[in-house]
């Protein structure tokens, strides 16, 4: 089978750029409008994209003054998007740090049932103390503690999803037997963090159960992905870093006893597209001119451990910033930010504007052909299996990508002309997992073959 790109649409309000909401075309209230997201899902499906994807946090993801900061529960949004689409996958983020496994397993199994096998769960850990405070915590768990809990959390969720055997439901009206009790299994998990009896009260979907996605790129994040993930969203600003991460994760997946072809590595890309390169640059400048630097500067100051008033916008990052070992939050993202500033000798102002377009993900400004060129290079030289497309402005950025970049990729034979299946697993080229997976086992959909 010819290898083809995996492309997801990462949706965020009216766009990923820091200042997208300030454009005349943008509706600052769109982040609470179901119709806005339904229209985006239909656009992504028109482009034959694999899925739409939502980030999420159990706290406000930015200060209320900075940008529209209201975020609806993504699983509920995806359920509303499922009813107006037929093929597009539906992936939402949910935290293993502050959720409970049974409720999460039920929520995503329900979305999978509603969408007839199109759901995916992006499993993340939560470092934000503001999130912890919403659940009664006075201090955030350490990096190691978060990943220890995440490993057990995933064991439990997969055990619950695997509780129903493929042929458990009989629907035998004559005998009065709906399902064979011998084929619906209790979990009886007793671990360090969880005690879960089971079974789940939602059975299998057309794809077995939701696709497991992961978004951590630190050492523990790679280990977690190698054991469980079927797709990984990552931030890789250069192709060299992309190839290194790709090689490391594929090797770790094989070492974990799994087929490396059954894990899709998908860096983020923020495409700013114009009919000419000059037009694309003008679009970028119009967005950057609207950035209020006070907001990202305050965030950066908190990250690096230096008061904002000590930071010179027109000088490089100070030397006396925190080391990665002092970071209990998102280590990989912190290291990426510092490396970007040092590698390109950026001033703080330049760094903030670069981060404003995609928070460290690769931003690319150019024509549809140029965007397609960079996607093709990453895909064909061992840096990516596809991309998490992050439009700077929504809905226009997604429409431009679908109408002008996707056709170029299709003409080059890199992307599908039409859907060949109806489930997210089929889009990703993943097998359907067998049932009755017990806690502690890896997801059998990705065992080495």
Is 127 in contact with 328 (CB distance < 8 Å)? yes
Listed in order, strand segments (DSSP E) in 140-263 are 169-172, 177-179, 189-190, 195-196, 211-214, 231-234
Q: Per-residue pLDDT for the chain (449 aa), expressed as one digit of tens each?
A: 689 999 999 999 999 998 999 999 999 899 999 999 999 999 999 999 999 999 998 877 677 877 778 889 999 999 999 999 999 999 999 999 999 999 999 999 999 999 999 999 999 998 777 788 888 888 878 888 999 999 999 999 999 999 999 999 999 999 999 999 999 999 999 999 999 999 999 999 999 999 999 987 788 999 999 999 999 999 888 899 999 999 999 999 999 999 999 999 999 999 999 999 999 999 999 998 988 887 778 877 777 777 878 787 888 877 767 666 555 555 566 777 777 777 777 888 888 887 777 666 888 999 999 999 999 999 999 999 999 999 999 999 999 999 999 999 999 999 999 999 999 999 999 999 987 644 334 343 333 33
CA 93/CA 73 separation, integer angstroms: 10
Q: Which helix (H) or strand (E) holds 382?
A: none
| Domains recognised in the chain with CATH numbers | 6-275+363-446 (3.20.20.30)
User: Cα separation of 144 and 390, whole Å?
Assistant: 30
Give the model's pLDDT for residue 378. 97
**What span, in angstroms and rounded, lies between the C-alpha atoms of 409 and 80?**
30
Instruction: Report the 3 state secondary structure along 356-379.
Output: HHHCCCEEEEECHHHHHHHHHHHH
7: nearest Cα among 55, 44, 46, 39: 44
* CA proximity to 87, closest of 424, 425, 429: 424
Give CA separation, 8 vs 183, 278, 411, 424, in Å: 35, 27, 19, 11
Say how far apart CA 146 and CA 264 lie, in whole Å: 24
Element (H, E) at 91: strand 89-95
The whole-number pLDDT of residue 140 equals 78
CA distance 19 to 3: 37
């Amino acid at each position: 089978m010819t290898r083809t790109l995996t492309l997801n649409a990462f949706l965020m309000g009216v766009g990923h750029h820091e200042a997208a909401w300030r454009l005349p075309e943008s509706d600052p209230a769109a982040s609470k409008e179901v119709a806005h997201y339904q229209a985006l899902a239909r656009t992504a499906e028109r482009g034959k994209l694999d899925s739409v994807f939502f980030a999420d946090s159990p706290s406000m993801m930015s200060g209320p003054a900075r940008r529209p900061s209201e975020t609806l529960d993504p699983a509920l949004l995806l359920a509303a998007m499922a009813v107006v689409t037929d093929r597009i996958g539906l992936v939402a983020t949910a935290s293993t740090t502050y959720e409970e496994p049974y409720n999460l397993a039920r929520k995503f199994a329900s979305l999978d049932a509603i969408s007839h096998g199109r759901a995916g769960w992006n499993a993340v850990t939560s470092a934000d103390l503001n999130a912890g405070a919403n659940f009664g915590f006075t201090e955030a768990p350490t990096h190691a503690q978060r990943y220890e809990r995440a490993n057990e959390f995933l064991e439990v969720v997969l055990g619950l999803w695997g509780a129903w055997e493929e042929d458990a439901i009989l629907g035998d009206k004559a005998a009065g037997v709906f399902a064979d009790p011998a084929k619906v299994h209790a979990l009886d998990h007793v671990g360090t963090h969880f005690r879960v009896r089971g079974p789940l009260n939602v059975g299998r979907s057309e794809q077995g159960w939701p696709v497991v996605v992961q978004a951590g790129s630190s050492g523990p994040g790679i280990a977690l992905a190698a054991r469980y993930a079927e797709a990984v969203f990552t931030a890789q600003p250069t192709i060299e870093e992309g190839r290194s991460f790709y090689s490391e994760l594929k090797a770790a997946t094989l070492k974990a006893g799994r087929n490396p072809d059954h894990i899709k590595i998908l860096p983020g890309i923020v495409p700013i597209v114009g009919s000419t390169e000059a037009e694309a640059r003008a679009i970028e400048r119009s967005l950057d001119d609207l950035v209020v630097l006070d907001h990202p500067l305050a965030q950066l100051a908190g990250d690096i451990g230096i008061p904002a008033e000590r930071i010179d916008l027109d000088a490089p990052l100070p030397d006396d910033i925190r080391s990665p070992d002092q970071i209990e939050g998102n280590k990989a993202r912190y290291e990426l930010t510092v490396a970007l500033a040092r590698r390109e000798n950026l001033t703080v102002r330049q760094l903030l504007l670069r981060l404003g377009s995609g928070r460290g993900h690769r931003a690319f400004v150019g024509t549809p052909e140029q965007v397609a060129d960079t996607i093709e290079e990453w895909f064909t030289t061992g840096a990516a299996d596809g991309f998490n497309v992050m439009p700077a402005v929504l809905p226009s950025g997604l429409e431009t990508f679908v109408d002008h970049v996707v056709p170029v990729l299709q003409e080059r034979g890199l992307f599908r002309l039409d859907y060949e299946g109806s489930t997210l697993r089929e889009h990703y080229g993943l097998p359907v997992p067998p049932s009755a997976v017990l806690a502690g086992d890896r997801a059998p959909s990705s065992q080495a073959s």
